[in-house]
Amino acid sequence: MHKVTGKQGGVVRILAALALAGLHTAPLCAQSQPPPSEEPIITDQEFEAAVPPVTAEDDPELGRSLESIDEFERKLTPQGEAAPAPSPVGQDAELATPLPPLETFRAEPVVFSGAAVAPQDAEIVYRVDLNGLGEVVAASERDLLGEFFRLSLLRTKGKARNTTQISSRAGEDVLLLKKLLAADGWFDAQVRTRIDRPADQGPLVVALDVMPGKRFAFSTISVTAAPTLPPDLISRNLELATGQPVIAERVLAAEAKVALALPENGYPFAELGTRDVLLDQDTGAAAYTLPVTVGPRGTYGAIRSEGNEAFGADHVQTLARFKAGELYDSRMVDDLRQALIATGLFRAIAVEPTRTGEAGPGGTEQVDLVVKQEAGPPRVIAATAGYGTGEGFRVEASWTHRNLFQPEGALIVSGLVGTLEQSAGVTFRRSNAGRRDRTFELASELHHASTEAYSAYTGRLAARISYDSTPIWQKRLTYAYGAQLIGTDESVFDPRLRIRQRRTYAIAGLTGQVGWDMTDSLLDPTRGFRLTALVEPEGALRGGFTPYARVRLDGSAYYRVAENIVLAGRVRAATIQGAELDRIAPSRRIYAGGGGSVRGFAYQQLGPRDINNDPTGGRSLNEAAFEVRYRFGDYGVVGFVDVGQSYAKALPDFSDLRVGVGLGARIYTNFGPMRLDVATPLRRRPGESRINVYVSIGQAF
C-alpha cells in the first residue's frame, strides 16, 4: 500500500486497489495544495544596489598578494628550530615516508574467553511475539494471524546468524503486517519491533507491537455510469453497503461481479475505471466512487472467421447456442469458445466481439463475433492396453485424421491384438453433424475371438447416431440409436449331438440406448447416480428367421462420506427375450465374470456350462458391486465386493450367486485413473483360479 504525504482537513485519498497482500496496487493520489510561488522576494539588481561597494582604498589588505606556503610554514616554526624541508606531496613529510615491508606486519586473531567463544556455524534461536491484535482478530472475517504466520519471514525461518538478520526479517514482517491490516480496513496501523533477551537466557524474543488504529468503513458508495437496462444492473451486482468495513477482497469481488454482469446482460464493451476511495482520518469514513464505461447495448450480429481455418463460419454457427438478433450474453460466447476447443482441431482459438455501428432490434447495436482460428495437427495416434485373468493381454491402437472430410469428418483406422481376440476396423465419424453435439458414425469391422465359450470369425457393418457426454460437457440426458448387420461363423455346442460344431449366422438388428447421468464427473464420479437402458431388437437368419430382443439395465450410485473416501455401488440386469438359447449365436449371448463384470472370476466363466465344463452363455444376468475408494494425493486404494451370475432362462432368478472380493490400486491422471485390481472368489470351486488380476484405465464403474 502506497502512503500519501499530502493531507488536508484530516482527509486523504487512497488507491483503488486497497492493498491486499500479493495484489498489484495503483499508487495513492493525494488531494494536494497548489505549489508555492517560486518568484524571489527581491531581484538581483535591487540586492546589488543596496550593498555599498568595497575598494582597496577602503581596506589595504584587499590589494595585497597571497604569501607562499613555505613562508606560511616558517611563521609556524618556533624560534631556534630549522624549518622542515619542502615536501613534494602537499608539503607533508609523512606523505612521502615509505610504507614498512609487508612481512613486518603481524595480525593477531581476537580470542574470546569463556562463554563468549562460539562456533562459526552457531545460529541464534528466537521466538516471535505478536502483540496488540486482539481487536483485529475479533473483528476480521479472515484468518489474519494464520496468513501472517504462513508468510512471515521470522516464523518460517526460526533461526538467524546474527541480530542484523533478525532485524532485517522483522522489517519485512512489519511491511507484511501493514499490508494485511490495510487489506482488512486498518489503513493507519503502526507496527514497532524490539528484540529482548529474557532474564533466564532463553531464546531471544522478537516482539512486534501493533497499534491498528481506526478501521475505515464506507460512508458513501456511488457509481458514475450511463443508464443501463435494467436500471439497477450495476447497483444490484456491486455488493457493497455503507457501514461495511473497507475490505479489499470484498471490494474486488464486488467489482468482478459487476464486470461479469454487464457483458452477460448485453454490454460486451463495458469497462470499469479506477475506483476512488476518499478516507477521512479523523472519522474513519470512506467515500467510494467507481466510474464505469457502459458502452452500447448489443445483440448478436454475424459470425466471421479468419486465420488458418479448420472449418468456416457456417459450421461455427452450428456450434453456437444463440441466434442473430438475440441479446448479447458473454456466457454464450464462452460456451462457443469451449465448443470450438472441444473439437480438438485447433492450436489456438479466440472469439472476440466487435462493434459494427449498425442498429439492432430494440435500440441495440449489432455485435459481430470474429473467430480467429489457428488449426492444429489433424492426425492423432492413440493406444490403450489392459490385462485380465482368463482374458489375457489386450492392446488397442488407432490412427485418426480428425478433419479429413470438412467440417469435422474424421477417418479412424483401428486395430486390436489380444490373447483371446483380434480385430481391425475403419470408421467414418462426423462430429456436430447438422447440429451441435450430434455424432454420426459409419463403422466396418473384422473380428476374431477364441474363448472357452466359443470361437468366432465375424464381420460387422453398423451406423449410429448419438448424443453423448464429452470431457468438457457432461450431459444429463444422452441417447444413441442405429442399425447393424453382422455375419459370423462360430463354434457352438449342440446339446442334442453333445458336440461342438460350426454354424454361420446372418444377423440384422437395431440398437437404442438412453442414459440419465446426475454424477459430478464423467471419469471419476464422487457423488450422484447414473441410469442406462440398452435395447437391441435383432433377427438371426439360419434355417429360418429367429427374432429376439436383447435388453440391459445398468445403475450406479456414488456417495462421498469424507474428503478422501467415496462409497460406490452398481447393479446390472440383462435378458434376451423371444428365442431359445440354441437359436442365438454364442457371441450374442450373455456372459458373466471378468474385470467388467464379476471380479474374482475369469472372463466369461460364470453361468451355464456344457458337458465338457465349457461356458455356453445364457439368456439372463444379474450383477452387483460395492466399492470403498480411498484417495491420497494422486494415488488411491479400493476395497470391493462383486456378486453375480448368468442363467440359461430368459429371466434371472438370483440363485447360485457367486461372490468375489478384492483390493485395488489407483493412479490418478488428468485423463482418468489407472486401475489395478486383485480379487479372489469366495467358496472357490474346482478349476477356478485363486487369484485374478485386472489392469485397465478408468474406474470399474
* pLDDT digits 0-9 by tens, 17-54: 343 333 333 333 333 344 445 566 777 777 777 777 76
State the Cα–Cα distance between residues 152 and 174, nearest whole angstrom: 9
Lowest mean pLDDT among 108-112, 314-318, 476-480: 108-112
- Give the Cα-Cα-Cα angle 214, 219, 221 (nearest 5 degrees): 130
The 10s digit of each residue's pLDDT in 314-364 is 999 999 999 999 999 999 999 999 999 989 899 999 999 999 999 999 899
Position 370 scores a pLDDT of 96
The grid coordinates listed for 355 are: 462493434
Which range, 115-124, 329-338, 535-544, has the best average confidence (pLDDT)?
329-338
Pick the CATH number of 123-211 from 3.40.640.10, 3.40.309.10, 3.30.2320.80, 3.10.20.310: 3.10.20.310
Domain range summary for the chain, segments of one domain joined by +? 11-28+216-293, 123-211, 298-375, 379-404+469-474+506-697
State the Cα–Cα distance between residues 147 and 130, nearest whole angstrom: 13
Question: Other CB atoms closer than 10 Å to residue 595's CB: what's the count?
Answer: 24
The 10s digit of each residue's pLDDT in 322-333 is 999 999 999 999
pLDDT at 618 over 60: yes
Q: How confident is the model at residue 89 (pLDDT cuts 50, 70, 90)?
A: very low
State the Cα–Cα distance between residues 685 and 609, nearest whole angstrom: 14
Task: Give me the mean pLDDT over the 449-464 stretch.
Answer: 93
Question: Other CB atoms closer than 10 Å to residue 60's CB: what's the count?
Answer: 8
* CA distance readout (Å), 697 to 412, 641, 676: 21, 19, 9
CATH topology of domain 379-404+469-474+506-697: Porin (2.40.160)
pLDDT at 111 over 50: no
Position 95 scores a pLDDT of 62
Tell me the whole-structure pTM to 2 decimals. 0.70
Q: Could you tell me where the beta strands, DSSP code E, fall in 495-544? A: 499-517, 528-541
pLDDT at 627 over 90: yes
Q: How confident is the model at residue 209 (pLDDT cuts 50, 70, 90)?
A: very high
Q: How confident is the model at residue 696 (pLDDT cuts 50, 70, 90)?
A: confident
Q: How confident is the model at residue 596 (pLDDT cuts 50, 70, 90)?
A: confident
* CA distance readout (Å), 246 to 182, 258, 697: 9, 18, 51
* Residues in contact with 271: Cβ distance below 8 Å, sequence separation at least 6, in sequence order: 292, 293, 295
Asked if the domains at 11-28+216-293 and 379-404+469-474+506-697 fall in one CATH topology, the answer is: no
Position 4 scores a pLDDT of 33
Q: How confident is the model at residue 118 (pLDDT cuts 50, 70, 90)?
A: very low
Residue with cell 524571489: 40
> What percent of the chain has a predicted confidence (pLDDT) above 90?
58
Position 58 scores a pLDDT of 63
CATH superfamily of 298-375: membrane protein fhac (3.10.20.310)
* Residues in contact with 68: Cβ distance below 8 Å, sequence separation at least 6, in sequence order: none
Task: Give me the mean pLDDT over the 84-107 stretch.
Answer: 58
Position 11 scores a pLDDT of 45
The 10s digit of each residue's pLDDT in 238-250 is 999 999 999 999 9
SS3 506: strand
Q: What is the CATH number of domain 11-28+216-293?
A: 3.10.20.310
Sign of the Cα pseudo-torsion (341, 345, 349, 352, in order): negative
State the Cα–Cα distance between residues 182 and 166, nearest whole angstrom: 24
Lowest mean pLDDT among 98-107, 199-208, 344-353: 98-107
Task: Give me the mean pLDDT over the 653-659 stretch.
Answer: 91
The reply to whether omega before 230 is within 30° of 0 (cis) is yes
pLDDT at 174 over 50: yes
Position 2 scores a pLDDT of 34
Position 38 scores a pLDDT of 55
Average pLDDT, the chain: 85
* Residues in contact with 572: Cβ distance below 8 Å, sequence separation at least 6, in sequence order: 552, 553, 554, 555, 621, 622, 623, 624, 644
Position 198 scores a pLDDT of 79
State the Cα–Cα distance between residues 406 and 411, nearest whole angstrom: 11
pLDDT at 9 over 70: no
> What percent of the chain has a predicted confidence (pLDDT) above 70?
85
Q: Which helix (H) or strand (E) holds 14?
A: strand 11-14
